[in-house]
Structure 1
């Protein structure tokens, strides 16, 4: 984190802790020393800034930047803090190591977030493996297009698949302002039509069913598309 970013975040945090300070409060030396005496600058600034920057330079930077945020309401300070942190690291994007498709699948990094929607990066190099693994399959069935579209994602574990399905569902619920998630536990009741699979056959379970409808463009390829997320285990 660079010096300017650290100073901006420090001023926002000082304003949050000392709510009565106005824009000109930092001009007085006594007010400038108040955060240092009551809390300590080490609670606001990284150690490398305190140890490497001269006190005079540090105080001038705090005085100049504090005036920028002095008139902010609490919610504005929160959003500004997230905006600044967004330049340091992409905390609003979740990534999943998985594979595109099933069977002969392509290893990818799946990205989910408000700025990237649902997208993926392909790996430049990958090694094949013949070992048997317990994996989970996530299917996104997108409605509203001229042809039925199904996107299949293979996750290395059931936990990762559940996390992916819940994340997409949460974004849709956030936009729709209502919870439309439905979960059904497959009891795997015996049926006369079902044949017992061999030791090498793949068996399908469906422990989780999540229905998502009326998504917005950041989470779907087109506006007002419906998405259904189905999660099943392959093992």
Structure 2
């Protein structure tokens, strides 16, 4: 029995001092490799359509095809976040992407890599981004400050956006499901229909948030070119 509404997000259940809940992220590696040995089917067709769409979006945003590994990297990032979001919708499977520390493991390395690469190899370009074109001279110091702060909070905003969206939907589903024993019988069917609609909404949010995270990371990378 849950002690509070947020206990569904508690990762501290352990076995011999080993936190097993975080192992849910590794379930992906047990599921995906098997698909490569199967014949083509509707699932593969759907996955290929999604990957093709993501590849086109990334290619349009990157503009210059300077780094051949960009498409593979961002498609892998999209897949990792998407599958972790979906795994959290199954009963008794811990939602890793509902924790800020897990999402920061994606956003911080990307941001640090872009900063190191940009300031070492594209220094002039990095300075250019601090002052947008057409900025009046008197506003330049303020624009530098604003752009610097905006740049510094990027990894946090990426992680917080994903975390907040995952928590919000799961909390709503949990809150409604806890009231199942306290409502009249004739409202049970309405509650079940509401839960199904919320589950469909959460599936959409899982896809959208993985897409947003990937596209924003791509946009930040394209600024370095």
Task: Please give the range of the TM-score, normalised by the shorter of the 2 chains.
Answer: under 0.3
TM-score, normalised via structure 2 length: 0.22
Greater radius of gyration (CA): 1
Higher strand proportion (structure 1 or 2): 1
Q: Which has the higher contact order (CA 8 A, sep 6+)?
A: 2
Higher helix proportion (structure 1 or 2): 2
